[in-house]
Amino acid sequence: MLTLVDMCCHAALVLEKLVLGALPIPASILLTWAAVSAYGFDAAPFLLWAFTGGAIALVGVPLPSSFLQPVTPPAPSRGPSLPTLCNG
């Protein structure tokens, strides 16, 4: 059964993926708007293409999640394991 902490952790992981998945498009639009105001409208499609490709390439790099906790191996048991009981 999931506790409240587990459910919040899953929600945080989903929201993290959602934010990082939606981030490249608005960021590239804002950078294109700034560059078009500096360089002129003739270069707008090329600037949008370059900024969108760069943003997707940067966000597409696999990174470890901020919300995942390291998994610790289970503690060794003191009694015999199941294969030992079945084989011996």
pTM for the whole structure: 0.53
Instruction: Please write the tens of the pLDDT for every residue from 54-81.
Output: 888 887 777 776 666 666 776 666 666 5
In the chain, what are the domain boundaries?
A: 21-61
Average pLDDT over residues 79-84: 56
Is pLDDT of 8 > 50? yes
Catalogue the long-range contacts made by 59-67 (C-beta closer than 8 Å, 24 or more residues apart).
59/20, 59/21, 59/23, 59/24, 65/13, 65/16, 66/16, 67/9, 67/12, 67/13, 67/16
